Amino acid sequence: MSTPAYQQIKDYILGEIHAGIWRAGDQVPSEPELVRRFGVARMTVNRAVRELAAEGVLTRSQGAGTFVAATKYQSTLVAIRSIAEEIRARGHAHRATPLKVGSVKADAALAQELGVDVGSTIFHSLILHFENELPIQLEERWVNPVLAPDYLKQDYASTTPNEYLMRAAPLSRVEYRIEARRPDRGIRAKLSMDKDEPCLVLHRRTYSNGQVASVAKLYHPAGRYQFSGWF
């Protein structure tokens, strides 16, 4: 499943801003310039720019052009830290045990999530993270090999998937949702959870250069973990 043209343009603009190439107050290419660059219809470019303006990323001034917004841009990107960085920031020790790292075939659901063909080879990992020797997160992740070809070569006992992916496929967009659910027996055992303790699950899909880079499910014991946000 290919990314719509208007979303590719949005991801391009967000990527340039996130990389620091365009800063607050800088003028972005005009709609005719973007039409020529992407080879799409004017209405497609207009939709991308209009949506970014509505999201507070861009400001439009009639007769002057379109500019990177001076405020609010940070609120359009979720600050993503690796679990190791998060734990170290609390002054605690992190370690990780890779349980599975390998290749799998994308079923229909994963193919749709990653924007690849059904049956395509994708990378998969299952990693248990500890904070001061107590399990704090079970990370299951599926990765697009096109954007992260060396994913399987990393030592995930000494680095995290997030740290590698931020180098290999710099973030341009993220989608996420959080839910509380009762974990199955296997997840509960891995995270040393009480029988009736709920699990906090973060579903996260990250994009780079207009393509889905990875899809992750991050499981946390509700009694030992909470989510917080910052911009």
Ordered structural domains, the chain, with CATH: 5-76 (1.10.10.10), 83-221 (3.40.1410.10)
SS3 for 165-224 is HHHHCCCCEEEEEEEEECCCHHHHHHCCCCCCCCEEEEEEEEEECCEEEEEEEEEEECCC
User: Which contacts of 176-183 are long-range, i.e. CB under 8 A and separated by 24 or more positions?
Assistant: 176/78, 176/202, 176/203, 176/204, 176/205, 177/202, 177/203, 178/202, 178/203, 178/227, 179/203, 180/222, 183/219
What pLDDT was estimated at residue 94?
92
Tokens of 117: 């063909």
Burial class (CB within 10 angstroms; exposed 0-12, middle 13-18, buried 19+) of 48: buried
Confidence of residue 78 (pLDDT cuts 50, 70, 90): very low
Which residues are paired to 125 by β-bridges?
A: 101, 141
- pLDDT mean across residues, the chain: 86
Nearest C-alpha neighbor of 124 from the set 114, 136, 112, 134: 114
Q: What is the pLDDT of residues 97-145, one digit of tens each?
A: 999 999 999 999 999 999 999 999 999 999 999 999 999 999 999 999 9
What pLDDT was estimated at residue 71?
41
To 10 degrees, the CA torsion angle through 60, 66, 67, 72?
40
Angle between helices 5-18 and 31-38 (to 10 degrees): 110
What pLDDT was estimated at residue 86?
82
How many helices (H) and strands (E) the chain has is answered by 7, 8
Residue 76 pLDDT greater than 70, yes or no? no
Q: What is the pLDDT of residues 164-180, one digit of tens each?
A: 998 898 887 888 888 88
